[in-house]
């Protein structure tokens, strides 16, 4: 139940963006926030970009996650701005380290969370097909969407079983705890994977005809806004290369 | 419609479920029940029909399988998929999509139907199978019964002529079975050909036209349902089949040692993070110590949550367990309770069966471990990897490790789902043996036959509350029979609807007895003839 991150509930997800917009957002986040491309000249824009996932999470009814991470981000930002310049040595090191990690990683992780929790498998495949990705890539990717939540489900059952047996990382069999977790996990995953593919095959997956997709995706005003926000840093980067900025 | 001729098959890496020289035909519109012990080849036949053999499960196949005009052994799987729809046993692993609507659309999308047509079919299938309220939901948030209905809907949307169901009720409660019954009756009315492989027979009596009984990969009997029904209970036992009627069962547990001591539970309430209401709400509860307590209730009644709280797995549950003089909170309960999970694969970690038992002991003692293994008939396999064992053996290994860790309370989560008569009785023997020692067992189950075999007490949960807590004596039996009787209906077609309504409205036991009397009379007459 606590792992609802990966489990899309169509009724209760609030704002809907086109998967392609989400993909663009994800790439932009990775390039500019995580990768820090053109950081010196575009650094003023990064916080703006970073606010996007917080808003998206807010709009998709994940208020608590959004607020907590927003506070964390602001805290890290303030520390970087006001505290770090006044510290020295080890403390400076630690603060700088955590600050950078939070500021660079957190927005990316949140975007990923948003994308996974708000995209259904059929939306995803529809989008992939629209940007002409090969079926050979789409099918395994869509299976992954389905498979991860299952594996997480299995993992939590196994964790419970370990807990009942008193096997944990702190206990008597600490050294083997990892092995004890992985062996049943792998066996269960393989079994489920097999049954899943059998079920999919009996529903005609992998035919020689072109699959239809009932899922209607398309761009709306919100998509345009997000895309414009995403386009801005690229334009900035181009301009800076041309020497304008 | 279906022609299976001289088919022999053996799996590439297993001896179970092989077929030798099987032939039979199924007419269009016929509803056929495949029954027999586990490993007799029922599932193999369903796989032959939907083409998973030889295209997905590898092995040696001779003979021919035709469905309509199609040679299934040669046709591609996606061609067969248009004619044959399949519903499988495990509701967890037969969904390709993460939300219900796309799942129902999935098959049609693969058939490359136009979009509008698919939408129309989704609406229609959802309407027919009463899943309209479930559309657009995440499949991870559905109960087992709901999942199975969505699976049926997604098959129905493809409108196949033949439907194959492989043990569809393994994980379902009585109400869910009743709904599945309705779906099957609808399909039957639409003239579809249906093949069902199943252990629980009582719900199929008036659906199936014909019964194919299998043993060791051969068809041993092939008769009309009317003839099949007339075989006596003894004959059924001989054939290793579950009974057709649930009414004639009587409690059989002889190990009733009520020492008057009891276990007291108080303040067992629990709410999942996002849930609005309490999933479990038990203020105070007294249960007999040393009994086998059946925990019953519908899918989603809070049985599993109750078990998790009792085990101490939900640490935020503030409930306390009092036994004798000791008071135990969640943390202590984690050390004195043990749950044998529905999927035992989750709780076997080590490389050999013996290690598994040793791991559970406070002080590893090989001699004591072997003694425990011997008592559960596991000594011959002690050096094997637990994952290489059969389902029943795995379950016993889990029990052995519970015994080794000296737990007083052992909880079983649906120990007999999908088991045939012999294996069910095996489980019930194990349970009785465990209870003979100073131990209380809780069994979460939908299986009336198991309850009657071994339980001594009933705990009935509904919506997270206790609505029944009574010993399984004569009175208790009546209550239970009524409870299960009103949900399962397996009488003649003519009697069905008016009778069912009367039963539900009156809720009285007398009427429940009535049709049995009629049936008995009928049977006597037939025997005389």
How many structural domains comprise chain A? 2
Tell me if the bond preceding B346 is cis, omega within 30° of 0: no
Does residue A5 carry a pLDDT above 60? no
**Are A82 and A192 members of one domain?**
no
The per-residue pLDDT for range B327-380, each reduced to its tens digit, is 888 888 888 888 888 888 888 888 889 988 888 887 888 888 888 888 888 888
Beta bridge mates, B64: B5
| Chain A positions in Cβ-Cβ contact with residue B81 (cut-off 8 Å) | 201-204, 207
**Distant-in-sequence, close-in-space partners of A96: CB < 8 Å, separation ≥ 6:** A80, A84
**Residue of A161, A169, A196 best to disrupt the B interface, most CBs of B under 10 A:** A161
Name the more confident of A194 and B300: A194
| Percent of residues, chain B, with pLDDT higher than 90 | 18
Tell me what the pLDDT averaged over chain A comes to. Answer: 81
For residue B271, what is the enclosing H or E element? none
Q: Is A211 inside any structural domain? A: no
Rounded Cα distance between A148 and A193, Å, is 11
**Are A111 and A154 members of one domain?**
no
| Chain A positions in Cβ-Cβ contact with residue B405 (cut-off 8 Å) | 165-166
Contact call for B96 and A196, based on CB within 8 A: yes
**Are A28 and A109 members of one domain?**
yes
Rounded Cα distance between B312 and A133, Å, is 49
Domain B262-485 has CATH 3.40.50.300: yes
pLDDT, position A229: 86
**Are A181 and A225 members of one domain?**
no
**Are A85 and A176 members of one domain?**
no
Please determine, for the modelled complex, whether the ipTM score is greater than 0.85: no
Does residue B40 carry a pLDDT above 80? yes
| Chain A positions in Cβ-Cβ contact with residue B110 (cut-off 8 Å) | 203-207, 209, 211
User: Rounded to 5 degrees, what angle do the CA atoms A7, A9, A11 make?
Assistant: 170
Q: Shortest CB distance from A164 goes to which of B51, B109, B334?
A: B334
**Are A53 and A161 members of one domain?**
no
pLDDT, position B505: 37
Task: Give the residue numbers spanning the domain of A80.
Answer: 19-119+218-241
The per-residue pLDDT for range A54-97, each reduced to its tens digit, is 888 888 878 888 889 899 999 988 888 888 888 888 888 888 88
| A232 pLDDT tier (thresholds 50, 70, 90) | confident
**Are A228 and A114 members of one domain?**
yes
Residue contacts between A and B (CB atoms, under 8 Å): 198
**Distant-in-sequence, close-in-space partners of B106: CB < 8 Å, separation ≥ 6:** A200, A203, A205, B96, B97, B154
Q: Is A135 inside any structural domain? A: no
Structure tokens at B75: 């046709």
**Are A172 and A110 members of one domain?**
no
**Distant-in-sequence, close-in-space partners of A73: CB < 8 Å, separation ≥ 6:** A50, A54, A102, A103, A106, A107
């Amino acid at each position: 139940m606590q792992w609802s991150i990966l489990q899309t509930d169509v009724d209760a997800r609030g704002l809907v963006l086109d998967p392609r917009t989400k993909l663009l957002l994800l790439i932009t986040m990775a390039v500019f926030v995580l990768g820090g491309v053109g950081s010196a000249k575009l650094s003023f824009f990064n916080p703006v970009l970073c606010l996007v996932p917080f808003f998206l999470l807010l709009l998709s009814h994940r208020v608590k996650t959004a607020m907590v991470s927003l506070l964390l981000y602001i805290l890290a930002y303030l520390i970087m701005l006001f505290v770090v310049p006044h510290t020295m040595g080890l403390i400076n090191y630690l603060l700088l380290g955590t600050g950078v990690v939070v500021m660079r990683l957190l927005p990316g992780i949140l975007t990923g969370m948003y994308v996974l929790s708000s995209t259904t498998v059929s939306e995803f495949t529809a989008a992939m097909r629209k940007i002409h990705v090969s079926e050979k890539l789409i099918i395994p990717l869509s299976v992954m969407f389905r498979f991860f939540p299952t594996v997480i489900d299995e993992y939590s059952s196994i964790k419970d079983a370990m807990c009942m047996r008193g096997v944990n990382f702190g206990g008597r069999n600490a050294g083997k705890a990892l092995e004890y977790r992985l062996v049943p996990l792998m066996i269960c995953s393989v079994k489920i994977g097999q049954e899943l593919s059998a079920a999919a095959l009996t529903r005609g997956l992998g035919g020689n005809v072109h699959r239809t997709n009932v899922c209607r995706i398309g761009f709306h005003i919100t998509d345009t806004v997000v895309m414009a926000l995403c386009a801005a840093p690229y334009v900035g980067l181009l301009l800076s290369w041309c020497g304008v900025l | 419609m279906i022609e299976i001729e001289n088919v022999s098959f053996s799996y590439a890496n297993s001896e179970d479920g092989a077929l030798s020289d099987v032939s039979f035909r199924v007419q269009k519109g016929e509803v056929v029940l495949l029954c027999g012990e586990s490993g007799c080849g029922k599932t193999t036949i369903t796989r032959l029909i939907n083409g998973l053999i030889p295209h997905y499960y590898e092995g040696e196949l001779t003979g021919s399988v035709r469905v309509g005009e199609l040679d299934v052994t040669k046709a591609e799987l996606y061609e067969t998929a248009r004619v044959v729809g399949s519903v499988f046993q495990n509701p967890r692993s037969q969904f390709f999509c993460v939300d219900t609507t796309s799942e129902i659309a999935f098959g049609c999308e693969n058939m490359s139907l136009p979009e509008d047509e698919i939408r129309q079919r989704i609406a229609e299938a959802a309407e027919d199978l009463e899943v309209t309220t479930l559309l657009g939901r995440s499949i991870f948030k559905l109960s087992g019964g709901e999942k199975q209905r969505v699976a049926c809907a997604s098959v129905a949307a493809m409108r196949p002529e033949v439907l194959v169901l492989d043990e569809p009720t393994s994980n379902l409660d009585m109400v869910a079975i009743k709904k599945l019954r309705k779906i099957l009756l609808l399909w039957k009315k639409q003239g579809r050909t249906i093949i069902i492989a199943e252990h629980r027979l009582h719900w199929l009596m008036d659906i199936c036209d014909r019964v194919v009984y299998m043993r060791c990969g051969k068809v041993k009997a092939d008769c009309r349902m009317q003839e099949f029904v007339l075989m006596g209970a003894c004959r059924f036992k001989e054939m290793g089949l579950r009974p057709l009627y649930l009414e004639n069962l009587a409690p059989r547990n002889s190990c009733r040692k009520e020492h008057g001591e009891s276990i007291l539970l108080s303040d067992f309430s629990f709410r999942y993070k996002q849930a609005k209401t309490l999933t479990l709400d038990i203020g105070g509860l007294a249960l007999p110590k040393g009994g086998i307590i059946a925990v019953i209730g519908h899918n989603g009644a809070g049985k599993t949550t109750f078990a998790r709280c009792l085990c101490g797995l939900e640490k935020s549950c503030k409930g306390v367990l009092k036994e004798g003089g000791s008071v135990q909170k969640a943390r202590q309960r984690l050390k004195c309770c043990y749950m044998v999970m529905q999927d035992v694969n989750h709780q076997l970690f080590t490389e050999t069966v013996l290690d598994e038992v040793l791991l559970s002991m406070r002080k590893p003692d090989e001699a004591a471990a072997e003694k425990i293994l011997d008592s559960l008939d596991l000594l011959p396999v002690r050096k094997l990897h637990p994952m290489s064992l059969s389902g029943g053996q795995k379950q016993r290994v889990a029990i052995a490790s519970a015994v080794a860790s000296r737990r007083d309370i052992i909880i079983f989560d649906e120990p007999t789902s999908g088991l045939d008569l012999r294996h069910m009785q095996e489980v019930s023997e194990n349970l009785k043996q465990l209870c003979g020692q100073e131990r209380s067992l809780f069994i979460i189950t939908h299986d009336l036959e198991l309850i009657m075999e071994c339980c001594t007490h009933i705990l009935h949960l509904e919506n997270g509350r206790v609505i029944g807590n009574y010993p399984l004596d004569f009175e208790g039996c009546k209550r239970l029979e009524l409870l299960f009787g009103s949900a399962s209906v397996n009488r003649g077609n003519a009697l069905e609807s008016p009778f069912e309504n009367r039963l539900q409205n009156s809720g009285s036991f007398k009427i429940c007895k009535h049709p049995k009397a009629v049936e008995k009379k009928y049977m006597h007459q037939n025997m005389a003839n």
